[in-house]
């Protein structure tokens, strides 16, 4: 089974801090994703990465950056945390298209981040 | 632009009753459709997916979904709900570059 591991289940940080959320997958997947999940808004895509050192903005990239130096690891960075970034953050990975089909994403358990 | 609508924010059913969760999508081409389930404090788990072929797809945990192109719908069904099915359910549509998720439907199961 695919395992997507997020380094922290719960995290509390202060306004203005630089925050790192880490995600590791063990299946050699090419694609990785960061979402935030808020009640009533579903999942919104922050950034995604097709491959090492490649990244693309999602729907809500403002205030975030990402890093993918190794294939298995995809980091989300809050450059200067603000209270409106308090949320649940979900990481996902997916293999590239195989045959004619697009493969589904596999999710980690999430990091609940509180910014005080 | 692609989009997903889950019109029911919250649904309550009795254990043993049948279930249907609604999903309507907007997508410019043939859609790739997914249903995920999220138990409290956990990530999303794939229930089933539709890419092409038979419009009735079977998934895990006894769930099925039917793709209806004319109605732009992909509703999730289960004939008999178990208490362990209480969770939040997300419909998603997309292609290679991007998958868009609905806002979710919370399912409550009463004994």
d(CA B44, CA B37): 6
Test A100 with B51 for CB contact under 8 angstroms: yes
Put simply, the answer to whether B94 touches A102 (Cβ < 8 Å) is yes
Of A42, A97, A109, the CB nearest to B42: A109
Q: Are A116 and A13 in contact (CB under 8 A)?
A: yes
Mean pLDDT, residues A68-73 taken together: 95
Residues of A in contact with B51 (CB under 8 A): 100-102
Spatial neighbors of B101 by CB under 8 A, at least 6 apart, are: A35, A42, A43, B4, B36, B90, B91, B92
pLDDT of amino acid B28? 79
The neighbouring-strand residues paired with B87 are: B107
> Within a 13 Å sphere around the CA of B12, how many CA atoms are in the beta-carbon half?
2
What pLDDT, on the 0 to 100 scale, is given for residue A99?
59
**Residue A52 CB burial class (10 angstroms; 0-12, 13-18, ≥19):** middle
Is the predicted pLDDT of residue A98 greater than 80, yes or no?
no
**Nearest residue of chain B to residue A49 (CA atoms):** B97
Mean pLDDT of chain A: 92
Cβ-based contacts of A101 with chain B (< 8 Å): 51
B54-70 as b/e, with b when 16 or more CB fall inside 10 Å?
Answer: eeebebeeebbbbbeee
Record: contact B51-A101, CB cut-off 8 A = yes
**CA-closest candidate to residue A50, choices B98, B72, B111:** B98
Closest CA to A91 of A13, A5, A26, A20: A5
Q: A105 and B96: CB-CB below 8 Å? A: no
Rounded CA-CA distance B60/B57 in Å is 10
Average pLDDT, stretch A71-99? 91
Question: What are the 10-residue block averages of pLDDT along chain B, 111 residues in total?
Answer: 92 97 90 93 91 90 95 96 96 84 96 90
Q: Considering chain A, what percentage of its residues have pLDDT values greater than 90? A: 76
Report CB contact under 8 Å: B103, A105.
no
| B7 shares contact with chain A (CB less than 8 Å) | no
Across the interface, whether the CB atoms of A102 and B32 are under 8 A apart is answered yes
Residue A100 has pLDDT above 60, yes or no: no
Confirm if B80 and B30 have CB atoms less than 8 A apart.
Answer: no
Chain B: nearest CA to A110, how far in angstroms?
6
- Determine contact: A109 vs chain B, CB below 8 A: yes
Which residue in B has a C-alpha nearest to residue A105's C-alpha?
B46
* For range A24-41, the mean pLDDT: 93
A11 touches chain B (CB under 8 A): no
Query: A99 touching B, CB under 8 A?
Result: no
Cβ within 8 Å, pair A43-B101: yes
Say what the pLDDT of residue B98 is.
79
Distance (Å, rounded) from C-alpha B41 to C-alpha B106?
14
Q: Which of A50-64, A66-80, A97-111, B25-39 shows the lowest mean pLDDT across its residues? A: A97-111
């Amino acid at each position: 089974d695919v395992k997507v591991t997020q380094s922290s289940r719960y995290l509390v940080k202060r306004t203005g801090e630089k925050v790192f959320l880490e995600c590791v997958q063990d299946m050699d997947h090419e694609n990785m994703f960061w979402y935030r999940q808020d009640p009533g808004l579903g999942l919104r895509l922050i950034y995604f990465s097709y491959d090492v050192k490649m990244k693309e903005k999602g729907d809500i990239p403002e205030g975030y950056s990402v890093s993918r130096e190794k294939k298995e690891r995809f980091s989300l960075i809050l450059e200067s945390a603000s209270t409106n970034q308090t949320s649940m953050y979900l990481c996902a990975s997916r293999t590239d298209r195989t045959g004619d089909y697009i493969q589904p994403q596999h999710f980690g358990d999430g990091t609940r981040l509180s910014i005080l | 632009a692609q989009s997903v609508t889950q019109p029911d924010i919250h649904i309550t059913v009795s254990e043993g009753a049948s279930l249907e969760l609604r999903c309507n999508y907007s997508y410019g081409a043939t859609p790739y459709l997914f249903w995920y389930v999220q138990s409290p404090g956990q990530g999303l788990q794939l229930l089933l997916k539709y890419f092409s072929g038979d419009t009735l797809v079977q998934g895990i945990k006894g769930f099925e979904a039917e793709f209806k192109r004319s109605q732009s719908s992909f509703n999730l069904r289960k004939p008999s709900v178990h208490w362990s099915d209480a969770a939040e359910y997300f419909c998603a549509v997309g292609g290679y570059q991007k998958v868009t998720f609905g806002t979710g439907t919370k399912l409550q199961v009463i004994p």
